[in-house]
Structure 1
Amino acid sequence: MKLRIFYDGLCPLCKNEMRNIKRRDIDNAISLEDINAQDFSERFPHIDVTKANDILHAETADGKLLLGLDVTYEAWSLVGKGCLVGLLRKPLIKPFADQGYLLFAKNRYKISKLLTGQSRLPQECESGRCDIKY
């Protein structure tokens, strides 16, 4: 595992992006953890669920914490598609992209409703673990 992403599995758009990333993750370099899992805080006490619900969190294999679009860029880079979001990490664009991301994150359920017809997904957990089916 090179990257562990802590995502909101109740958000249709978020879950869809994680599913797309994992489909391309042929080296199994990325693990996904739904912050809504019943045992999440027990397994990851160092991750504040409230903060992780406000902004996407991930940790690298060496324990470095990544946030927001840095997570997205790292994940897509690991599956060979970093060019899709690389422009958003350029110094002149990064501050604006990060603000746009925070606006998206704050309104992700409303945006999901507009784009998918669903604002939140039902939790699909078995024995306290919520996994993406891909």
Structure 2
Amino acid sequence: MKHLKAKDKRQQLKFENIWEVDFAERYPHIDVAEANRILHGQKANGDMIYGLDVTHAAWSAVGRGWMTAMLRWPIVKWFADKGYLFFARNRNGISKLITGKERCLQCSLDE
């Protein structure tokens, strides 16, 4: 996320922390527990997108969509989405296995 934010020179993206106290007030249509389970994104027109569709849209917005485009190809998409859901469900354990520590819920993009 920090790398993506750094690439967003034209400030096309808005990052939100689902753990902020007023998040539910500002985004009553988003279930925080579900947003913690799977990545949520909202387009400028209000349409919601999820998972790797958010990832691809975000990287496309900063001119790097070519890096994630293959993940949205019809046959690859099915496998990529299954892999994403596995990763999302197990991200803390995977992080601990790789780095020795689980990611915190309050990590900041500003750090």
TM over 0.5: yes
Residue aligned with 1:66, SS: strand
Shift in CA distance, 86/122, structure 1 to aligned 2, threshold 3 Å: closer
Structure with more contact order per residue of length (Cα contacts < 8 Å, sep ≥ 6) = 1
How many Å apart are 1:22 and its aligned residue? 0.5
Distance 1:90 1:121 in 2: 32
Match of 2:29 among 29, 35, 46: 46
Q: 1:132 corresponds to which letter in structure 2?
A: L
The percentage of aligned residue pairs carrying the same residue is 49
Q: Tell me the residue number matched to 2:97.
A: 114
SS in 2 for 1:33: coil
Residue 87 of structure 2 aligns with which residue?
A: 104
Specify which structure has the higher proportion of strand. Answer: 1
TM-score w.r.t. the length of structure 2 is 0.93
CA RMSD, aligned part only?
Answer: 1.4
The residue aligned with 2:64 is 81
**What is the CA-CA distance between 1:117 and the residue it aligns to?**
2.3
Per the TM alignment, residue 112 of structure 1 is displaced from its structure 2 partner at its CA by 1.3
Q: Which stretch shows the higher mean deviation, 61-70 or 45-54?
A: 45-54
Shift of 1:122: 6.0
Higher-helix-fraction structure = 2
Helix, strand or coil for the counterpart of 2:15? strand
Counterpart of 1:27 in structure 2 is 10
**Residues 133 and 87 of structure 1, relative CA distance in 2, 3 Å threshold:** same
For residues 24-60 of structure 1, give each alpha carbon's deviation from its aligned partner in whole angstroms, at most 9, with x where no partner exists: 0000000000111122111111111111111100000
**Number of matched pairs:** 111
- Please list, as runs of the form range in 1=range in 2, the aligned pairs for 1:58-97 lying within 5 A after superposition: 58-97=41-80
Letter in structure 2 aligned against 1:109: N
Matched residue type, 1:65: M
The alignment's TM-score, normalised by the length of structure 1, stands at 0.78
5+ residue gaps, structure 2 = none
Q: Which runs of 5+ in 1 are unaligned?
A: 1-17, 125-130
